[in-house]
Structure 1
């Protein structure tokens, strides 16, 4: 588990560093928004601006978030100011903290929204490609959609032993059932999780904590 955790942390670090290259005075990213609450947040803006943002309750009126919750795609902060006229005070305040210009990118995947706002000049096509790739990757890394699949205890018994490295005959012997029964329960799990192989099945079972 420590190896998996470290690998996940390393991947996150690489992705976040790629965004550092695109920003002038910092950036912020929110992954997996449910309403205005993301499951993962990271910001490199100055602490002074972060404190100001929190003190003023800007989360509820932030035009970069409002854009992400209402549409997908990319927009400059100038465009957002036109789209959300009431955001003028917000952007004027941000400018006093060195945030004069920037870009916002919003994507939707797995039924959730992720938003990246990055200070700096208008992105080039290459900048946008990097930003979009990083945001999609961070969304996949940080947001794990819940799986509504419910498995019966007999099926879970088979899966537990599979995850422990047991083969079909050994599983049958341990559970005191026929070999055909073990295979039938495995097929049930494969269909429920839309997995094509036993390896995919075990991966899904672990990912969604089904046992």
Structure 2
């Protein structure tokens, strides 16, 4: 299973004031998201319901590519960018990629200076890589779906294995292969992703 941690670490180094990455936005919410913005900013953003008014999200749905916040040209009637500066998000960059049906939108911030062209190029490459490796699978095997469904219904491993007429180790192998396919760290996460992706 490809791990996302090295990519997220690299992005964090290039965006010392934080980032937010929403991967494969479908039905208005991302299938996976990562953020390391300061908690005070996240609380303020949530309290003000900025997700509904965020110029970076509007830009991300209207265009693909990368754009510095001060070059965006999108109306900001609620002054989100000015408020972000009060939390150390002085300079920003938004990167958007993927089809409208599965769009990835991400933003990155610095407090010290604007992003350099070569940094924008590298960040864009890493976001596209994240988008590609988290592409939801088209399907799971019937064996994987059955194993996930039984665990989701509350069965323990031994009971689920008995119902499927397989050994407990065979059940665990099915669950592990489902986790790998869904890029999930735990079975609970795999179950949630399979539901989100409408695979079970």
TM bucket (normalised to shorter chain) is: 0.5 to 0.7
Shift of 1:138: 1.3
Residue 92 of structure 2: aligned partner: 102
Q: Distance in 2 between matches of 1:36 and 1:135?
A: 19
TM-score with structure 2 setting the length: 0.64
Task: Flag as ranges the 4+ runs of structure 1 deviating above 4 A.
Answer: 206-211
Shift of 1:74: 1.1
Instruction: Indicate how the Cα distance of structure 1 residues 14 and 65 shifts in structure 2: closer, same or farther if over 3 A, else same.
Output: same
Query: 1:111-144: CA deviations, max 9, x gaps?
Result: 4111121112433333123212211121123330
Figure out how many residues of one structure are paired with residues of the other and give that number.
147
Residue 109 of structure 2: aligned partner: 119
Q: Secondary structure at the match of 1:24?
A: coil
Q: How does 1:1-211 map to 2 (within 5 A)?
A: 4=1, 8=2, 11-80=3-72, 82-87=73-78, 89-109=79-99, 111-120=101-110, 121-144=113-136, 146=138, 207=181
Flag structure 1 segments of 5+ consecutive residues without an equivalent. 158-202
Shift of 1:96: 1.2
Shift of 1:75: 1.0
Shift of 1:92: 1.3
Structure number with greater Rg is: 1
Is the Cα–Cα contact under 8 Å of residues 28 and 42 in structure 1 kept in the other structure? yes
Task: State the Cα RMSD in Å.
Answer: 2.9
Query: 1:129-178: CA deviations, max 9, x gaps?
Result: 3212211121123330545xxx9xxxx89xxxxxxxxxxxxxxxxxxxxx
TM-score with structure 1 setting the length: 0.60
Shift of 1:84: 1.9
Is the Cα–Cα contact under 8 Å of residues 28 and 45 in structure 1 kept in the other structure? yes
Query: 1:7-42: CA deviations, max 9, x gaps?
Result: x4xx21100011012113111111001243111111
Is the Cα–Cα contact under 8 Å of residues 110 and 145 in structure 1 kept in the other structure? no
Q: Distance in 2 between matches of 1:58 and 1:49?
A: 11
Q: Distance in 2 between matches of 1:39 and 1:133?
A: 20
Q: Secondary structure at the match of 1:38?
A: strand
Q: Secondary structure at the match of 1:75?
A: strand
Structure having the larger proportion of residues in helix: 1
Q: Distance in 2 between matches of 1:75 and 1:35?
A: 24
